[in-house]
Structure 1
Amino acid sequence: MEYPTFLDHIRRESARFRAVLAPCDPAARVPACPDWDAADLLWHLTEVQWFWAHVVRTRPAPPDEELPRPARSASYDGLLAAFDEHSAALVHELEAAGPHAAAWHWSPVQTVGTSFRRQAHEALIHRLDAEQTAGTVTPLDAALAGDGVLEVLDVMYGGDAPAWGRVEVGTSLLRLDLVDLGTAIWVRPSMFFGTDPGSGKVYDGPHVQVVDDPGSPAHAVIAGSAADLDAWLWRRRDEEGIAVSGDPATYDAFRACVDQPLD
């Protein structure tokens, strides 16, 4: 997906998110994040978009750990106004910087383009949260959702190991068929080991590795539409309509890799 398309999706999904939440009961619970109500969800995406606008604006320096955060308004109208301000700022900063400029990111690729992509998917999933909260769910864009399946596997749940860790790549293969797009994503359920030198936290657990088509049969296959698979991997829907076949152990190993909550 081209970077201008990601930017268009940030605009479009953010606008839909706002339109759905504006008339919503601020106390309505968010089904995928039951500790949140509609006001919390609105503030969450506001803070996310504020933070990444700041990161891009002050690139390439990493954000200051003591960076003061914006104050949360006590009124729902104030929250909506803050969202309008910070969402517009994010789009402005991304557009002004362009995707190829160096910028800090928590993931390995240190460019503004990483935020183009990540923030498009952030807005998409929270738009779905808003619609589920309001009871007005509409379809996800298939192309964006297809890239979302790849991004959640290759960035959020997997990817290359940092210098202080290692990945023990598994031997079983699983294929995800995005049936409406006619594409497939191949993964190996694996393990990650390491100790973060900054926090001292020890990591020892499942980790998924996206791999090229190996030219050999998959041990297990998961098939569904791009939108259904994206929402399922983000724990925003159940498995209904998603077909699983092949080796149960391979499927269980994959589920262990993606069995982590994502906000």
Structure 2
Amino acid sequence: MTDSLQYSALLQLIDEQSAAFRSAVAAAPSLDTPVPSCPEWTLFDLVQHLGTGQRWWAAIVAAGPAQAPPAKDAAEVPDEPEALLAWYAESNELLLSALREAGPERECWTWWSAGVSPANTRGVARRRVHETLVHTYDAQLTAGTVQPIPADLAIDGVAEFLDTCNSTPAPWPHQAATIHYHATEGRSWLLTLNATGAWPAPLTDHTAPPSASATGTAEQLLLFVWGRLTLNDLKTQGNQQVFEQLIAWEPEE
């Protein structure tokens, strides 16, 4: 699983997913095609978003420890398909080059610095693996070429999302609750929500029944936490309002 892979393997995954992303974009009817999983975006918007993100994180990694991130690249993005794909390939290589040069332990600015994920290049690499993975799914969905997500990668994606996006010291503004995610491949996760914030927690034989639970394949759970599937796509139990509250929550730290 990617949480136990070497740093070089994370970089390889970014590169592999970026190649799959470019292939899906090339197979789509046009850059004006709407992205079903990102209703306000066209395929051009999706490529621009991911490519700009790769360039921004490359600059963040290169800057090292910092109190604030550098500005995002404001250069004009080409809108002709071949030139756009070349621009994206260059964007991805800028990120990989910065990560290779920095090595796995260099500290840098991250928006998740108060959470569980490390505020360093290893944390950035793991985040970009899954950002690229999910946007590859978006591009494949747009092109009608969706490929299965490997179970081990999806399992790490769920864990990474909880570590990065669902861990914060910001007080939970609702009644304390717990959420249990269970992948049919045999992995489970627990998220606690209370006055101390939102934190992934270990599951033990003595863990109390959760306020709410969701069961599906690892791929389904990954796409759910990223907002690509809904609760209707999963088997749920307990108080579904907790999921709705979590999705709507925008913590202020």
Partner of residue 201, structure 1: none
Q: Using the TM superposition, give the Cα deviation of residue 259 of structure 1 relative to its aligned residue in structure 2, in angstroms.
A: 4.0
Partner of residue 137, structure 1: 146
Deviations 1:40-98 (A, max 9, x none): 11111110101111111222234334x55222113222211110111111112112211
Partner of residue 187, structure 2: 183
1:121 maps to which of 111, 124, 130:
130
Structure ranking higher in strand proportion: 1
Question: TM-score normalized by structure 1?
Answer: 0.82
Give the direction of change, closer, same or farther, for the CA distance of 1:238–1:110 in structure 2 (3 Å limit): closer
Partner of residue 230, structure 2: 238
Partner of residue 80, structure 2: 75
Q: Distance in 2 between matches of 1:233 and 1:160?
A: 16
Partner of residue 210, structure 1: 200
Q: Distance in 2 between matches of 1:239 and 1:160?
A: 23
The 10-residue stretch of structure 1 (130-139 or 141-150) with the greater mean CA deviation from structure 2: 141-150
Q: State, as a whole percentage, how many aligned pairs show the same letter.
A: 28
Give the direction of change, closer, same or farther, for the CA distance of 1:260–1:239 in structure 2 (3 Å limit): same
Matched residue SS, 1:22: helix
Q: Which runs of 5+ in 2 are unaligned?
A: none
Partner of residue 167, structure 2: 159
Q: Using the TM superposition, give the Cα deviation of residue 137 of structure 1 relative to its aligned residue in structure 2, in angstroms.
A: 0.7
Give the direction of change, closer, same or farther, for the CA distance of 1:47–1:68 in structure 2 (3 Å limit): closer
Q: Distance in 1 between matches of 2:99 and 2:174?
A: 35
The residue identity in structure 1 corresponding to 2:182 is D
Q: Distance in 2 between matches of 1:117 and 1:74?
A: 29
The 10-residue stretch of structure 1 (55-64 or 226-235) with the greater mean CA deviation from structure 2: 55-64
Q: Using the TM superposition, give the Cα deviation of residue 241 of structure 1 relative to its aligned residue in structure 2, in angstroms.
A: 5.1
Q: Using the TM superposition, give the Cα deviation of residue 169 of structure 1 relative to its aligned residue in structure 2, in angstroms.
A: 8.6
The residue identity in structure 2 corresponding to 1:113 is R
CA contact (8 A) 2:172 2:198 kept: no
Q: Distance in 2 between matches of 1:235 and 1:229?
A: 10
Partner of residue 101, structure 2: 96
For these two proteins, the number of residue pairs brought into alignment is: 238
Q: Using the TM superposition, give the Cα deviation of residue 191 of structure 1 relative to its aligned residue in structure 2, in angstroms.
A: 6.2
Partner of residue 195, structure 1: none
Question: TM-score normalized by structure 2?
Answer: 0.85
Matched residue SS, 1:42: helix
Matched residue SS, 1:154: helix
Give the direction of change, closer, same or farther, for the CA distance of 1:106–1:174 in structure 2 (3 Å limit): closer
Partner of residue 14, structure 2: 10
Q: Using the TM superposition, give the Cα deviation of residue 155 of structure 1 relative to its aligned residue in structure 2, in angstroms.
A: 1.7
The residue identity in structure 2 corresponding to 1:121 is H
